[in-house]
Structure 1
């Protein structure tokens, strides 16, 4: 069936923020006496804090105690320190404009909070183009659980087989697949092709996808 809508991830997809998120986790854990190496948390970026915290420190959760405080500290760092310094992924604005011109319905599906999302969309230079979003507050579990994608589908009111997701992590792919949605992946989030193997197509960044827009999604990765 014809494509009618696109679900958009933001971090690592529209804005080059994945390293900043990892460093914010390192800083936030350190503020409460926990040593978490950057290399350990970086592969988890794309998951929500409800998933990351217990993987880094078993026994902690983002709902109480140190885990909740760490989660809040990380959010503050993104909003006030790292977020304003971020750069858009190559071609983000141009790709969004192209999709809007094509008449596609667009919605954000992010594990970020609404406050973080405001900062991230501004950094991606698409804050004036996107106003429909599903965030961490809309779902019980973050990616790789399907909750956020399922809520996005509900808001779009489009069947899964008429929607694609644009993402950059294996967690986007797993989340979307569980909701019956195919994913076009971009490498600019820092994950390699093997990690993105479940995508129906893989491009370097939004600009690369835009350059091949007429024949996307292709039958094989580039």
Structure 2
């Protein structure tokens, strides 16, 4: 897509706009335990935000036998899907999307979720009328902390890295944005602390989408023109 002069906000979705981080944690914990890998939930939680390939390397070691990885992903996906009817947006997430759109900014969901998972997340948000573009895992060859999904979001929306801000909830989000010199606003609602997000390089940190909305006029988003 050709680029234009508009600005935009790229949003991670899982744990940033929709309250799913701990659902993913429990789903991975159950899948791993069933396969004989009793990994503590705290370790799993800290890996949420990585792609599943990197997550399994991080938790089980890169030298392991990968022949069971596909089964582990299927088990996680099956357990996580059971939560879809109960997915809810994080505080004032939809209001934040609408406020950004009202400022004339493109609203882009830079999600690494599989397409069927993304559909469930979008249904929970119920804000398709203000969402300009949305990516899924099919759009990126490498998962976060690689920046591929952000590159795809920029290409599909026609935006440039110099004219966007990224909003995410994990250190992996901050790392991915940093590789493209995109300012990243961190939200602690995914369970990662303010200190960790700031230490990873977040331009600013807020508690949740509602807190960012309240400070929107003073945030990095307000500087987008």
Structure 2 residue runs of 5 or longer lacking an equivalent are none
More helix by share: 2
Q: Distance in 1 between matches of 2:86 and 2:37?
A: 26
Q: Would the aligned equivalents of 2:185 and 2:205 in 1 still touch at CA under 8 Å?
A: yes
Q: Distance in 2 between matches of 1:209 and 1:33?
A: 41
Moved over 6 A (4+): none
Rate the CA distance shift 1:164–1:30 in 2: closer, same or farther, 3 A.
same
Q: Which residue does the alignment assign to 2:69? A: 67
Q: 1:120-172 deviations in whole A, cap 9, x for unaligned?
A: 22233435543621221111111111111111111122221110001111111
Q: Which residue does the alignment assign to 2:18? A: 15
Q: Distance in 1 between matches of 2:132 and 2:24?
A: 23
> Secondary structure of the residue that 1:202 maps to in structure 2?
strand
Q: 1:162-210 deviations in whole A, cap 9, x for unaligned?
A: 1000111111110011022111111111111121111111111111111
Q: Which residue does the alignment assign to 1:5? A: 8
Q: TM-score, normalised by structure 1?
A: 0.89
Rate the CA distance shift 1:52–1:9 in 2: closer, same or farther, 3 A.
same
Counterpart check, 1:31 vs 2:56: no
Q: Which residue does the alignment assign to 2:161? A: 160
Structure 1 residue corresponding to 2:211, chosen from 208, 211, 221:
208
> In the comparison of the two structures, how many residue pairs are matched?
215
Structure 1 residue runs of 5 or longer lacking an equivalent are none
> Secondary structure of the residue that 1:165 maps to in structure 2?
strand
Q: Distance in 1 between matches of 2:99 and 2:8?
A: 13
Q: Distance in 1 between matches of 2:125 and 2:22?
A: 15
Q: Would the aligned equivalents of 1:50 and 1:141 in 2 still touch at CA under 8 Å?
A: no
Q: Would the aligned equivalents of 2:165 and 2:185 in 1 still touch at CA under 8 Å?
A: yes
Q: Distance in 1 between matches of 2:150 and 2:94?
A: 22
Q: Distance in 2 between matches of 1:93 and 1:143?
A: 24
For the aligned residue pairs, the C-alpha RMSD in angstroms reads: 2.1
